[in-house]
Amino acid sequence: MLKMGRGDSMTYELMKTEHLQDIETLQKEWFAEDITYGFVAGTIEQISEAMTPYSLVAKDGQRIVGFIQADVMHDNEFCIFPRGASYLEVFDLFVTKEYRSKGIGKELLLQCEKIARENGVHYVHLSSATKDSDTVRKFYTGNDYAIWTTSFFKKLDTPSELKGNFTKHKNGAVCIVIRDSKILMIRQKRGDKEYYGIPGGGIEPGETPQQAAIRELWEECNVSGKIVKSLGTHHCPHVGTTVHSFHVDIGDQTPMIGPNLSEKEKQILLETRWMALDEICERDRAFLWTAGLAGVLEFFNELTSWGDDISFPG
């Protein structure tokens, strides 16, 4: 047990297997409130997989009324932290409605930060897709968090042939896997055209972007992976989705297509291949930069070493 509340029955402790059913219930409550863009409640199995030494619960007696899930990321390239410094990434923070404005969210953050500090981690990063940005901004700035980036969106009228597409496509997650200065690429065929891309796909209901990235890597390349760090997000304007990018390590495993794909997918994904930048066509290389390749230090250094020549494919 980490801390007794201020003279009341509130306690804070590390998340355990015995808490998973209650966390699942809280996530369903979160989803039903519809207060966060894109949030989908996780299953017990997914919550268990995301549990780390930085996952905590808040309890009023025996009742769990809030939770936080976070983990340490390494070798960051954020301009807000010293390059290469490890940082704590907060994924989820939720307190049930009747217990809000009682300092519980603040205490969950403080307890999580304390564990990080004890483990030599001195930076924290988080983002929010809240539908109540004013309240959330006030909460975090009131707890000494600074604002780094701010995103805005606006839905304009779209041509009739595009209407509806924004709700039909899932948000996505992709993996950038590096070995010996080469990038793991997948040769794909769509219609009559072939191109190279990186492992990834849609985020399924209940998945976090991290879980989706690792699942897609397994399904498409037959290897398990460990996330090194987040490389950020980018928007796909043609389908109106957000894609989360991650630098992923697979150790010395050998990637190959299947056997984890459906027959339909096998017709599209043809082979895996380790490729250097100068082996990748300019079109496919542009998508790599969009996916956050410059967030990997060796490729950032490669990019900044290039000259001032202007080139454009003919």
Q: What is the pLDDT of residues 117-161, one digit of tens each?
A: 999 999 999 988 888 999 999 999 999 999 988 877 776 765 544
> How many C-alpha atoms does 155 have within 13 Å on its Cβ side?
9
Q: Extract the runs of DSSP E, i.e. beta strands, from 145-240.
A: 172-179, 182-190, 193-197, 200-202, 226-236
pLDDT for 260 equals 53
Write the pLDDT tens digit of every residue in 199-240.
998 888 777 888 889 989 998 998 888 888 889 888 877 666
Q: Please report, to the nearest 10 degrees, the dihedral formed by the alpha carbons of residues 150, 155, 159, 165 taken in order.
A: 80
- The last residue of one of the domains, among 141, 159, 193, is 141
Instruction: Output the pLDDT for position 21.
Output: 95
Output the pTM of the full model: 0.56
Range of the structural domain that residue 108 is part of: 3-141
Question: Is 50 exceeded by the pLDDT of residue 179?
Answer: yes
Q: How much is the average pLDDT of 156-183?
A: 70
Q: Residue 147: inside a domain, yes or no?
A: no
Phi, then psi, of 307 in degrees rounded to 5: -80, -165
Within a domain: 247: yes
Residue 155 is assigned to a structural domain of this protein: no
* 174 & 274 share domain: yes
Q: Are residues 97 and 212 in the same domain?
A: no
Whole-angstrom distance, CA of residue 201 vs CA of residue 54: 28
What token pair was written down for 314? 């003919």
Instruction: Tell me the pairing of strands 63-73 and 56-60.
Output: antiparallel
How many domains are there within the chain? 2
pLDDT of the residue at 191: 75
**β-bridge mates for residue 69, sequence order:** 92
Residue 66 pLDDT exceeds 80: yes
pLDDT tens column, 245-286 = 999 999 999 999 866 555 545 458 889 999 999 999 988 888
Alpha-carbon distance of 300 to 295, in angstroms, equals 6
Residue 65's CATH number: 3.40.630.30
The predicted structure's pLDDT at residue 259? 62
Residue 136 is assigned to a structural domain of this protein: yes
- How many CB atoms are closer than 10 A to CB 94? 24
Q: Are residues 183 and 129 both part of a single domain?
A: no
Q: Are residues 173 and 120 in the same domain?
A: no
Q: How far apart are CA 171 and CA 168, in angstroms?
A: 10
12 with 98, same domain? yes
Reported as a single tens digit per residue, the pLDDT across 104-125 is: 999 999 999 999 999 999 999 9
Ranking 98-112, 160-174, 184-198 by mean pLDDT, the lowest is 160-174
Q: Is residue 210 part of a domain?
A: yes
Reported confidence tier of residue 7, pLDDT bands at 50, 70, 90: very low
Share of the chain above pLDDT 90, in %: 46
C-alpha distance from residue 85 to each of 31, 78, 144, 185, 251 (Å)? 34, 9, 20, 28, 22
Residue 160 lies in a domain: no
**Is residue 111 within 8 Å of residue 67, measured between CB atoms?**
no
* CA distance linking residue 122 with residue 120, whole number of Å: 6
**Would you say residue 300 lies in a domain?**
yes
Please give the share of the chain, as a percent, with pLDDT higher than 70: 88
Q: What is the mean pLDDT of the chain?
A: 85
For residue 266, the model assigns a pLDDT of 47
- Do 263 and 184 lie in a common domain? yes
Residue 47 within any structural domain of the chain: yes
pLDDT in tens, 25-37: 999 999 888 898 8
CATH number of the domain to which 191 belongs: 3.90.79.10
pLDDT at 239: 61
